[in-house]
Amino acid sequence: MRIFSGIQPTGDLHIGNYFGAIKQWLDFQHENECLFCIVDLHAITVPYDAKKLKERITEKTIIYLAAGLDPEKVIIFVQSRVKEHTELAWLLNTVTPLGELYRMTQFKDKAKKNKKNENAGLLNYPVLMAADILLYDTQVVPVGEDQNQHVELARTIGKKFNQTFGETFVLPKSKLPSFGARIMSLSDPKKKMSKSDPDEKSRISLFDSPKEIEKKIKSAVTDTQKTIKYDKEKKPGISNLLTIYSVFSGEKMEKVEKEMKGKSYKALKDAVSEITIASLEPFRRKREEFFSRDVYIEEILKQGEKRARTLAEAKMGEVRKKMGIS
Protein backbone atom coordinates (compact mmCIF):
# COMPACT_ATOMS: atom_id res chain seq x y z
CA MET A 1 0.00 0.00 0.00
CA ARG A 2 1.07 3.59 -0.56
CA ILE A 3 1.03 5.61 2.67
CA PHE A 4 1.49 9.39 3.00
CA SER A 5 1.45 11.65 6.03
CA GLY A 6 2.96 14.94 7.10
CA ILE A 7 3.70 17.19 10.02
CA GLN A 8 4.29 20.92 10.01
CA PRO A 9 7.68 22.22 11.12
CA THR A 10 6.17 24.53 13.71
CA GLY A 11 6.36 24.46 17.48
CA ASP A 12 7.54 21.54 19.52
CA LEU A 13 6.04 18.18 18.74
CA HIS A 14 4.12 16.86 21.71
CA ILE A 15 2.84 13.51 22.86
CA GLY A 16 -0.47 14.16 21.01
CA ASN A 17 1.41 14.33 17.72
CA TYR A 18 3.28 11.20 18.66
CA PHE A 19 0.22 9.09 19.49
CA GLY A 20 -2.08 10.69 16.91
CA ALA A 21 0.34 10.41 14.02
CA ILE A 22 3.95 9.25 14.27
CA LYS A 23 3.42 6.11 16.32
CA GLN A 24 0.98 4.78 13.72
CA TRP A 25 3.51 5.48 10.99
CA LEU A 26 5.98 3.07 12.59
CA ASP A 27 3.61 0.15 12.11
CA PHE A 28 3.30 0.88 8.41
CA GLN A 29 6.94 1.23 7.46
CA HIS A 30 7.81 -2.44 7.13
CA GLU A 31 5.30 -3.62 4.62
CA ASN A 32 4.26 -0.56 2.68
CA GLU A 33 5.61 2.22 0.53
CA CYS A 34 5.64 5.20 2.86
CA LEU A 35 6.25 8.89 2.35
CA PHE A 36 6.56 11.08 5.44
CA CYS A 37 6.73 14.74 4.64
CA ILE A 38 7.73 17.86 6.55
CA VAL A 39 5.11 20.27 5.29
CA ASP A 40 6.81 23.65 5.46
CA LEU A 41 4.42 25.27 2.94
CA HIS A 42 1.54 24.57 5.29
CA ALA A 43 3.43 26.00 8.24
CA ILE A 44 3.79 29.46 6.63
CA THR A 45 0.03 30.06 6.50
CA VAL A 46 0.21 31.47 10.03
CA PRO A 47 2.75 34.03 11.33
CA TYR A 48 6.16 32.34 11.73
CA ASP A 49 9.85 33.08 12.15
CA ALA A 50 11.52 32.72 8.73
CA LYS A 51 14.99 32.55 10.27
CA LYS A 52 14.04 29.53 12.38
CA LEU A 53 12.24 27.50 9.71
CA LYS A 54 15.29 25.53 8.59
CA GLU A 55 16.18 24.66 12.19
CA ARG A 56 12.60 23.49 12.75
CA ILE A 57 12.82 21.20 9.71
CA THR A 58 16.04 19.61 11.03
CA GLU A 59 14.38 19.13 14.43
CA LYS A 60 11.36 17.38 12.93
CA THR A 61 13.63 15.10 10.89
CA ILE A 62 15.43 14.15 14.10
CA ILE A 63 12.08 13.37 15.71
CA TYR A 64 11.11 11.10 12.81
CA LEU A 65 14.40 9.24 13.23
CA ALA A 66 14.25 9.20 17.02
CA ALA A 67 10.75 7.74 16.88
CA GLY A 68 12.14 4.85 14.85
CA LEU A 69 11.41 5.63 11.19
CA ASP A 70 14.03 3.96 9.03
CA PRO A 71 15.21 6.25 6.19
CA GLU A 72 16.27 3.18 4.20
CA LYS A 73 12.68 2.01 4.16
CA VAL A 74 10.61 5.19 4.08
CA ILE A 75 10.88 8.42 2.12
CA ILE A 76 11.43 11.39 4.42
CA PHE A 77 11.38 14.73 2.62
CA VAL A 78 10.59 18.44 2.70
CA GLN A 79 7.44 19.52 0.87
CA SER A 80 8.74 22.79 -0.64
CA ARG A 81 11.65 21.03 -2.32
CA VAL A 82 9.34 19.05 -4.59
CA LYS A 83 7.70 21.78 -6.66
CA GLU A 84 4.99 19.47 -8.00
CA HIS A 85 3.08 19.91 -4.71
CA THR A 86 2.43 23.60 -5.38
CA GLU A 87 1.73 23.03 -9.05
CA LEU A 88 -0.85 20.35 -8.34
CA ALA A 89 -2.40 22.47 -5.59
CA TRP A 90 -3.05 25.23 -8.10
CA LEU A 91 -4.61 22.84 -10.58
CA LEU A 92 -6.79 21.26 -7.89
CA ASN A 93 -7.98 24.72 -6.84
CA THR A 94 -9.87 24.86 -10.11
CA VAL A 95 -12.05 21.87 -9.18
CA THR A 96 -12.47 22.69 -5.47
CA PRO A 97 -15.84 24.20 -4.45
CA LEU A 98 -15.29 27.30 -2.29
CA GLY A 99 -18.09 26.24 0.05
CA GLU A 100 -16.14 23.12 1.03
CA LEU A 101 -13.16 25.25 2.06
CA TYR A 102 -15.24 27.67 4.11
CA ARG A 103 -16.77 24.86 6.10
CA MET A 104 -13.46 23.33 7.27
CA THR A 105 -13.24 23.39 11.06
CA GLN A 106 -9.52 24.11 11.09
CA PHE A 107 -9.95 27.09 8.74
CA LYS A 108 -12.67 28.54 10.94
CA ASP A 109 -10.53 28.08 14.08
CA LYS A 110 -7.35 29.48 12.59
CA ALA A 111 -9.08 32.40 10.87
CA LYS A 112 -10.63 33.36 14.19
CA LYS A 113 -7.25 33.19 15.94
CA ASN A 114 -5.46 35.17 13.21
CA LYS A 115 -7.98 37.93 12.58
CA LYS A 116 -5.23 40.25 11.32
CA ASN A 117 -3.80 37.58 9.05
CA GLU A 118 -6.81 35.94 7.50
CA ASN A 119 -4.90 35.11 4.30
CA ALA A 120 -5.97 33.04 1.30
CA GLY A 121 -3.32 30.44 2.14
CA LEU A 122 -5.24 29.55 5.26
CA LEU A 123 -8.37 28.90 3.21
CA ASN A 124 -6.49 26.95 0.53
CA TYR A 125 -4.52 24.91 3.06
CA PRO A 126 -6.65 21.76 2.51
CA VAL A 127 -6.15 22.00 -1.27
CA LEU A 128 -2.38 21.85 -0.82
CA MET A 129 -2.89 18.95 1.56
CA ALA A 130 -5.03 17.21 -1.07
CA ALA A 131 -2.21 17.77 -3.57
CA ASP A 132 0.32 16.19 -1.14
CA ILE A 133 -1.85 13.13 -0.86
CA LEU A 134 -3.16 12.70 -4.44
CA LEU A 135 0.25 13.31 -6.04
CA TYR A 136 1.51 9.95 -4.82
CA ASP A 137 -1.57 7.81 -5.44
CA THR A 138 -1.86 7.48 -1.69
CA GLN A 139 -4.26 4.87 -0.37
CA VAL A 140 -3.94 5.46 3.36
CA VAL A 141 -3.26 8.64 5.34
CA PRO A 142 -2.46 7.98 9.03
CA VAL A 143 -3.37 11.11 11.00
CA GLY A 144 -4.99 12.23 14.23
CA GLU A 145 -8.73 12.82 14.38
CA ASP A 146 -8.47 16.56 13.70
CA GLN A 147 -7.18 15.93 10.17
CA ASN A 148 -9.92 13.53 9.16
CA GLN A 149 -12.02 16.26 7.59
CA HIS A 150 -9.10 17.33 5.39
CA VAL A 151 -8.50 13.79 4.17
CA GLU A 152 -12.20 13.48 3.34
CA LEU A 153 -11.93 16.68 1.32
CA ALA A 154 -8.89 15.31 -0.54
CA ARG A 155 -11.09 12.39 -1.49
CA THR A 156 -13.87 14.71 -2.69
CA ILE A 157 -11.42 16.76 -4.75
CA GLY A 158 -9.85 13.63 -6.26
CA LYS A 159 -13.28 12.28 -7.17
CA LYS A 160 -14.32 15.56 -8.78
CA PHE A 161 -11.10 15.61 -10.81
CA ASN A 162 -11.60 12.03 -11.96
CA GLN A 163 -15.17 12.80 -13.01
CA THR A 164 -14.12 15.90 -14.92
CA PHE A 165 -10.91 14.74 -16.59
CA GLY A 166 -11.05 10.95 -16.40
CA GLU A 167 -9.65 8.39 -13.93
CA THR A 168 -6.41 9.90 -12.61
CA PHE A 169 -6.19 9.79 -8.85
CA VAL A 170 -6.47 7.03 -6.29
CA LEU A 171 -9.01 8.05 -3.65
CA PRO A 172 -7.38 8.09 -0.20
CA LYS A 173 -8.73 7.06 3.19
CA SER A 174 -7.59 8.29 6.58
CA LYS A 175 -6.41 5.92 9.28
CA LEU A 176 -7.00 7.09 12.83
CA PRO A 177 -5.38 5.38 15.82
CA SER A 178 -7.87 3.16 17.61
CA PHE A 179 -7.08 4.85 20.89
CA GLY A 180 -5.24 8.07 21.77
CA ALA A 181 -6.37 9.83 18.60
CA ARG A 182 -6.90 12.88 20.74
CA ILE A 183 -4.69 13.76 23.66
CA MET A 184 -6.09 16.71 25.56
CA SER A 185 -4.44 19.82 27.01
CA LEU A 186 -3.12 19.40 30.55
CA SER A 187 -4.35 22.87 31.55
CA ASP A 188 -7.75 22.66 29.88
CA PRO A 189 -8.67 19.02 29.24
CA LYS A 190 -11.71 20.00 27.16
CA LYS A 191 -9.33 21.30 24.45
CA LYS A 192 -6.89 19.22 22.41
CA MET A 193 -3.20 19.38 23.25
CA SER A 194 -1.74 21.79 20.71
CA LYS A 195 1.64 23.07 19.54
CA SER A 196 0.25 26.57 19.22
CA ASP A 197 -1.21 26.89 22.72
CA PRO A 198 0.60 29.84 24.35
CA ASP A 199 0.47 28.00 27.69
CA GLU A 200 3.54 25.73 27.68
CA LYS A 201 2.25 23.79 30.66
CA SER A 202 -0.63 22.54 28.51
CA ARG A 203 1.54 20.10 26.56
CA ILE A 204 4.37 17.64 27.01
CA SER A 205 6.93 18.03 24.27
CA LEU A 206 8.87 15.01 23.08
CA PHE A 207 12.15 16.64 24.13
CA ASP A 208 11.03 17.89 27.57
CA SER A 209 13.41 17.14 30.44
CA PRO A 210 12.30 14.80 33.26
CA LYS A 211 11.95 17.84 35.54
CA GLU A 212 9.71 19.67 33.09
CA ILE A 213 7.55 16.59 32.57
CA GLU A 214 7.13 16.10 36.30
CA LYS A 215 6.20 19.75 36.84
CA LYS A 216 3.67 19.82 34.02
CA ILE A 217 1.92 16.65 35.11
CA LYS A 218 1.86 17.80 38.71
CA SER A 219 0.01 20.95 37.67
CA ALA A 220 -2.37 19.15 35.29
CA VAL A 221 -5.99 20.15 35.90
CA THR A 222 -8.14 17.39 37.46
CA ASP A 223 -11.39 17.80 39.42
CA THR A 224 -12.61 18.16 42.97
CA GLN A 225 -13.76 14.57 43.40
CA LYS A 226 -11.51 11.80 44.55
CA THR A 227 -12.31 8.83 42.36
CA ILE A 228 -10.14 7.62 39.50
CA LYS A 229 -12.44 6.66 36.66
CA TYR A 230 -12.46 7.05 32.89
CA ASP A 231 -15.30 9.43 32.04
CA LYS A 232 -14.46 11.92 29.31
CA GLU A 233 -17.51 14.10 29.89
CA LYS A 234 -17.56 14.33 33.67
CA LYS A 235 -13.85 13.81 34.40
CA PRO A 236 -11.91 15.10 31.39
CA GLY A 237 -8.66 15.75 33.29
CA ILE A 238 -8.45 12.35 34.97
CA SER A 239 -9.54 10.64 31.74
CA ASN A 240 -6.75 12.37 29.84
CA LEU A 241 -4.14 11.25 32.42
CA LEU A 242 -5.49 7.70 32.23
CA THR A 243 -5.33 7.84 28.43
CA ILE A 244 -1.70 9.00 28.51
CA TYR A 245 -0.84 6.19 30.92
CA SER A 246 -2.68 3.66 28.78
CA VAL A 247 -1.05 4.66 25.47
CA PHE A 248 2.45 4.72 26.96
CA SER A 249 2.05 1.41 28.78
CA GLY A 250 0.17 -0.28 25.95
CA GLU A 251 -2.36 -1.51 28.52
CA LYS A 252 -6.09 -1.44 27.86
CA MET A 253 -8.10 1.25 29.66
CA GLU A 254 -10.02 -1.29 31.79
CA LYS A 255 -6.74 -2.66 33.08
CA VAL A 256 -5.35 0.81 33.81
CA GLU A 257 -8.55 1.79 35.62
CA LYS A 258 -8.33 -1.33 37.75
CA GLU A 259 -4.69 -0.71 38.56
CA MET A 260 -5.36 2.89 39.62
CA LYS A 261 -8.61 2.28 41.47
CA GLY A 262 -8.59 3.62 45.01
CA LYS A 263 -5.32 5.51 44.55
CA SER A 264 -4.97 9.23 45.17
CA TYR A 265 -4.76 11.76 42.32
CA LYS A 266 -1.17 12.38 43.41
CA ALA A 267 -0.32 8.70 43.01
CA LEU A 268 -1.92 8.68 39.54
CA LYS A 269 0.10 11.75 38.54
CA ASP A 270 3.31 10.18 39.85
CA ALA A 271 2.65 7.05 37.81
CA VAL A 272 1.89 9.06 34.66
CA SER A 273 5.04 11.15 35.24
CA GLU A 274 7.21 8.11 35.68
CA ILE A 275 6.02 6.29 32.58
CA THR A 276 6.17 9.45 30.45
CA ILE A 277 9.73 10.24 31.55
CA ALA A 278 10.89 6.70 30.83
CA SER A 279 9.09 6.51 27.48
CA LEU A 280 10.49 9.80 26.20
CA GLU A 281 14.07 9.00 27.22
CA PRO A 282 15.02 7.76 23.69
CA PHE A 283 13.91 11.09 22.20
CA ARG A 284 16.18 13.08 24.50
CA ARG A 285 19.07 10.70 23.91
CA LYS A 286 18.69 10.58 20.13
CA ARG A 287 18.41 14.33 19.93
CA GLU A 288 21.85 14.62 21.55
CA GLU A 289 23.14 11.96 19.20
CA PHE A 290 21.86 13.60 15.99
CA PHE A 291 22.30 17.20 16.98
CA SER A 292 25.81 17.54 15.63
CA ARG A 293 25.10 15.42 12.57
CA ASP A 294 23.66 18.04 10.22
CA VAL A 295 25.34 16.48 7.20
CA TYR A 296 23.72 13.11 7.84
CA ILE A 297 20.28 14.70 8.29
CA GLU A 298 20.68 16.70 5.08
CA GLU A 299 21.71 13.54 3.22
CA ILE A 300 18.51 11.80 4.33
CA LEU A 301 16.40 14.75 3.17
CA LYS A 302 18.20 14.88 -0.19
CA GLN A 303 17.67 11.18 -0.80
CA GLY A 304 14.01 11.49 0.19
CA GLU A 305 13.56 14.47 -2.12
CA LYS A 306 15.02 12.57 -5.06
CA ARG A 307 12.80 9.55 -4.53
CA ALA A 308 9.67 11.66 -3.99
CA ARG A 309 10.40 13.78 -7.07
CA THR A 310 10.60 10.76 -9.35
CA LEU A 311 7.09 9.71 -8.31
CA ALA A 312 5.72 13.28 -8.38
CA GLU A 313 7.06 14.08 -11.84
CA ALA A 314 5.49 11.01 -13.38
CA LYS A 315 2.08 11.79 -11.87
CA MET A 316 2.20 15.45 -12.87
CA GLY A 317 2.91 14.47 -16.46
CA GLU A 318 -0.32 12.51 -16.46
CA VAL A 319 -2.29 15.31 -14.77
CA ARG A 320 -1.10 17.97 -17.20
CA LYS A 321 -2.00 15.81 -20.15
CA LYS A 322 -5.49 15.14 -18.81
CA MET A 323 -6.06 18.85 -18.22
CA GLY A 324 -4.75 19.81 -21.63
CA ILE A 325 -1.87 21.94 -20.37
CA SER A 326 1.74 21.26 -21.27
> For residue 11, with 0-12 CB atoms within 10 Å meaning exposed, 13-18 middle and 19 or more buried, which class applies?
middle
Q: Are 25 and 68 in contact (CB under 8 A)?
A: no
Options 186, 193, 221, 256; binder of ligand AMP; rule CB under 6 A:
193
Query: What would you report as the CA-atom Rg of the chain, rounded to the nearest whole angstrom?
Result: 21
The half-sphere exposure of 6 on its side-chain side, counting CA atoms within 13 A, is 26
236 binds ligand AMP (CB under 6 A): no
Nearer CB in complex with ligand TRP: 5/239: 5
> For residue 121, with 0-12 CB atoms within 10 Å meaning exposed, 13-18 middle and 19 or more buried, which class applies?
middle
131 binds ligand AMP (CB under 6 A): no
Q: Are 178 and 24 in contact (CB under 8 A)?
A: no
8 binds ligand AMP (CB under 6 A): yes
Q: Are 236 and 173 in contact (CB under 8 A)?
A: no
Nearer CB in complex with ligand TRP: 46/253: 46
Nearer CB in complex with ligand AMP: 144/158: 144
Nearer CB in complex with ligand AMP: 157/206: 206
132 binds, among ligand AMP, ligand TRP, none (CB under 5 to 8 A by kind): ligand TRP
Min separation Cβ 35 and ligand TRP, Å? 9
Tell whether the torsion through CA atoms of 216, 217, 219 and 222 is positive or negative.
positive
188 binds, among ligand TRP, ligand AMP, none (CB under 5 to 8 A by kind): none
8 binds ligand TRP (CB under 6 A): yes
Of 110, 175, 216, 269, the active-site residue reads 110
Min separation Cβ 143 and ligand AMP, Å? 4
Name the residues annotated as catalytic: 110, 192, 195
